[in-house]
Amino acid sequence: MRCVNTIPGHANWVFSVAISPHGQILASGSRDRTIKIWHLKTGQLLHTLIGDTKWVRCLAFTPDGKTLVSGGDDGKLNIWQ
């Protein structure tokens, strides 16, 4: 394997990543309390989600790719659509 792209964008450590079921979207969660949504192939930033009050530790897409769930150090799960 080799690195084919590096995507800069968070202001702090990245703790979690998730790839959508169709393989086109990447979500990354960070210590900066944001979730960034990227186009996987191009690395283009599509959205920045703000709502987690502490570090974003885990991310998961639903099987249809329409919903993203985030969990963090605040003990909450946030559901994004």
pLDDT tens per residue, range 26-60: 999 999 999 999 999 999 999 999 987 889 999 99
Indicate if the pLDDT at residue 10 is higher than 90.
no
Distance between CA atoms of 81 and 63, rounded to whole angstroms?
13
Both structure tokens of 30: 């960070």
Distance between CA atoms of 34 and 68, rounded to whole angstroms?
13
Using only C-alpha atoms, what is the Rg of the chain? Answer: 12
Decide: pTM greater than 0.85.
Answer: yes
Query: Between these two residues, 23 and 5, which has the higher pLDDT value?
Result: 23
